[in-house]
Amino acid sequence: IFAYAFGVPSLERFVWLSREDVQSAFDSLGKQLDMPRPLRERKGFADSAEYEAAYLGLFEVGMPEPPVPLLESSHHRAIPAQQIVLDCVNFYSVLGLRHEGSAFPADHLITQLEFLAAARFARETISDSERKSELLRLERDFLERHLLLWLPVALKKLERLSPPLFPRLLSLTHELMRNEL
């Protein structure tokens, strides 16, 4: 769901994010994760054009880079980008996943969330208990070495800018990943 929510902006995605049942589901998840503020506490986007402009201005466009790129390598200056990407690719290869042809870089939030979804699916559909344990360790290692290291940095940047919707979505994503551990 969060990979979809942070996907390339479109009218369809804006309509989906604006739906009452989707807003309620995010609020309910926030309550389950003991997060104090509801998703709807701030004014939302007036229309899909404002939503698209905000997404692009926050995550995609800027000099020398966007204010809050959804790329892990943009938030870890001490670790070379190539090393981060290679580590991600190595994790993906454990499940036989290849990054070639993907619409997003290997260290992009969406790619990382999709990898975790694939790992979870593999773990939940396999009957071998030893393999289940290995897949659970894979998920936890990935969370600790990747998402849980850079999402808090990105979230602080995003909260300072205070746009509608996106800080709460990223906060929910982060808390859900923490909860997975």
Instruction: Render pLDDT for 44-96 as a digit per residue (tens, 0 to 9).
Output: 788 999 999 999 999 999 888 899 999 999 998 888 999 999 999 999 999 98
CB 157 within 8 A of CB 166: no
CB 87 within 8 A of CB 145: yes
Residues 144, 150, 151, 152, CA torsion sign: positive
Helices (H), 33-165: 48-55, 81-94, 109-125, 129-142, 148-161
Check pLDDT > 60 for residue 41: no
pLDDT of 8 reads 93
pLDDT of 78 reads 86
pLDDT of 65 reads 87
140-161 pLDDT, tens digit each: 999 999 999 999 999 999 999 9
pLDDT of 43 reads 67
pLDDT of 81 reads 92
> Between the CA of residue 100 and those of 69, 106, 122, 175, what are the distances in Å?
21, 9, 21, 30
Listing DSSP states for 11-65 in one string gives HHHHHHHH-HHHHHHHHHHHHHTT--S-GGGS---SSHHHHHHHHIIIII--SSS
pLDDT of 170 reads 95
82-124 pLDDT, tens digit each: 999 999 999 999 998 887 767 889 999 999 999 999 999 999 9
